[in-house]
Structure 1
Amino acid sequence: MNEPLLHAQDLVAGYGSSQVLFGAGLTIHPGEFVTLLGRNGMGKSTLIKTLLGILPIKAGSIHFAGSSVVGRPDHEIARRGIGLVPEGRGIFPNLTVRENLIATAIERQGAGAQWTLDHVHALFPRLKERARNLGSDLSGGEQQMLSIGRALMTNPRLLILDEATEGLAPLVRREIWLCLESLKAQGLAMLVIDKNLRPLLHLADRHYVIEKGRVAWSGTSGSLAAEPDIMARYLSV
């Protein structure tokens, strides 16, 4: 397998005197679909924040595309090729759909096919129809499509999606899963946090289960499906 695109290990981090991560880590190779699973409050979002440079680490290492990004500001890490679809969508409500998309557009040298407005519109035709509408005018599902499209316009090498189907109607959720399936087929590496395990077992190459700030289990979809005790112990409510 190729060299890792993202490799993080032995991460220690938290908020003030409260430690949340206790040696957590993960690895993602180019083109891989990887998930980060676990109950609420186990450290998933904290791990994402450390990977993005939003939260400093107290110990450990993070390498992206072969270079250490520890201590780098979050905007610099993003420009190296990590796109984020944040929990809660985070679109600009007072900008139009088109303005939201072009506001984050980045062209990358040697990146091959570039994500453009036309490519995003082909993935989400509804965004083309709503191009002149403000972000605040959109439905929840449309806002989620816009959030994904906005992240793609940065032409990322790795796309991170934090609860991308949270609170969406089943039909819209299905459309998001089909979108992720298409992105996987195009070879885009993804790290996904989501509570809907069934589609993740179908799409993902590998999974990391986090429990109290540590990686409690990791393996393939086949391995996870074959170990119902893992799902019962770490993922059931």
Structure 2
Amino acid sequence: MARVALVTGGTRGIGEAICKGLQAAGFTVAANYVGSDDRAKDFSERTGMRTWKWNVADHQATLDNVASIEAELGPVDVVVNNAGITRDGTLLKMTYEAWKEVMDVNLGGCFNTAKATFPGMRQRGWGRIVNIGSINGQAGQYGQVNYAAAKSGIHGFTKALAQEGAKFGVTVNAIAPGYIDTDMVAAVPADVLEKIVAKIPVGRLGHAEEIARAVVFLCSEDAGFVTGSTMSVNGGQHMY
């Protein structure tokens, strides 16, 4: 029977690429989303994967929806914490609400999904948790104290939880993407984007599928000796 993988923020961009990669690797994939129902419907029609709608910042909703997934598909053995938002602004202009929302979704979501799935993984003696961090959580970024703090927190969360899961066959790793050709990056003004690409040694933006391939490896049997690591996939922009 195929193992079940849950991907948060899974119906678009990097999340969709991860879902497709895991499905191709033989996993049964459940995709979480919180935005457009139409986009989620289109995703399911194109891929055949089921979707569940809830905000990963909501602890009880996460527990309830993971229970629903497990009742319908089976135990969740793989979690990819990809859901994330931005509410950019300098500290002087940033509201507390903008700070809290980013922390609750980007970092709190990792805690909530792990809380819902880690005990079962540990009990069954096998599990994979992959948290999507960011180059901006490693290097920082002007106007993103909330986002950079949350993503940096993910890297610390990963290392700590990896120590709890290691002897039970549960690995916990992070991936820190650089600038990827998603809708979010496409919205960046052309002149700004040109300056960003100029700082990437390989000379281009990354592709969502390149992040997905890294995730698939970390979720595989082959990665059983890899835990507590942060894999930088950024074209050499930040060597950490």
TM value normalised by structure 2: 0.30
Structure with higher strand content: 1
Structure with higher helix content: 2
**Larger RCO: 1 or 2 (CA < 8 Å, sep 6+):** 1
